[in-house]
Structure 1
Amino acid sequence: MNMNYQVEIYTMSMVWNPVSDQVLLMNRPNHKGFPGYIAPGGKVEFPESIVDGAIREVREETGLWARQIKYKGLDEFCDPEQGLRYMVFNYLITSYEGELLTDPPEGELVWVPLRQALELPMQDWFAERFPRFFNSGTFERSVVWEKSSGRTLQETFKTYSD
């Protein structure tokens, strides 16, 4: 087994207003990568904690400060050819303060009714992950794939109750 591998740690945070039942999504342009509607998130900086990285990314991308944040689960992707393990820690934010940025760096910010969000154009992987933010408990998904062929070699998915 190759012991030389790289780990990249990211976060994704769904900002949800439970009173209006709306989620805050970014409409990312093509040149930013992952075009379409997506939740805020990004790379965790060393040595910050993962939850602090999630809070920082939401602040940088939206202008909002997370006040209540709940861990929802892990999406992990491993590519043995590249020696890469890519981990995304997912959070649900239900309380926040601040004003939305007028010129957000990652794309237009839009409050969308929760029941209509999946009708928007978005990456398939994000559409698959979206409901998991609102399911009870937490989840863990691990995928081993080959970038060169685009094939999934192995997948594990587990859910855990609260």
Structure 2
Amino acid sequence: MEIPYHKLSAGAIIRDKFDHILLIKNKTRGWEYPGGFVNNNESVQDGAIREVEEETGIQVKIIDLIGIYQIKQESSCHFLFLANPISGQLQSDDESEDIGYFTMEEALNMISNKIFLERVLHSSNENQWPYLYINK
């Protein structure tokens, strides 16, 4: 019997006190919310918090689960959280060219990657949380 292998990732929609969301500009994918792979022996929440800090320089508090996104063909699963900034200073890392807070309208116009765009749209409708998406 073959032991399954899955890729697990987590990210966060971070809202400031003005309800703007934090985006980073990835060198290859363009504008997106911060996130990345969850390490071995790390919870998905801790993975999201760590990735946000690595990519943005800020510490966040997880507020809610927005959705779970499974892509069966890639054996991958992504957890998307809502988070609030609690400390730190915005700074980009090696993977990103730019960083900033934007209105939802601005963010939707800036994000060119279809997957990130759909997930940010899901984040704007709290009545549908937690959202479950399974790519068949």
TM-score (norm 1): 0.75
Higher helix share: 2
Separation of aligned partners in 2, 1:69 and 1:106: 26
- TM-superposed CA distance for 1:126, in Å, is 1.1
Count how many residue pairs are aligned between Structure 1 and Structure 2.
133
Query: Contact (CA 8 Å) 2:22, 2:102: kept in 1 or not?
Result: yes
2:107 corresponds to which of 117, 139, 142: 117
Percent of matched pairs sharing the same residue = 26
- TM-superposed CA distance for 1:88, in Å, is 0.2
Alignment of 1:33-112 (within 5 A): 35-79=29-73, 84-101=74-91, 103-107=92-96, 108-112=98-102
Query: Contact (CA 8 Å) 1:69, 1:95: kept in 2 or not?
Result: no
Cα-Cα RMSD: 1.7
Query: Which residue in the other structure is 1:149 paired with?
Result: none
- TM-superposed CA distance for 1:122, in Å, is 1.9
- TM-superposed CA distance for 1:73, in Å, is 1.1
Query: Which residue in the other structure is 1:151 paired with?
Result: none
Moved more, 85-94 or 109-118: 109-118
Structure 1 runs, 4 residues or longer, greater than 6 Å off: none
- TM-superposed CA distance for 1:11, in Å, is 0.5
Gaps of 5+ in 2: none
Query: Can you list the C-alpha shifts for 1:48-90, whole angstroms capped at 9, x where unaligned?
Result: 11111111111111111112432111000011xxxx4100000
Separation of aligned partners in 2, 1:94 and 1:114: 15
Separation of aligned partners in 2, 1:29 and 1:68: 26
- TM-superposed CA distance for 1:4, in Å, is 4.4
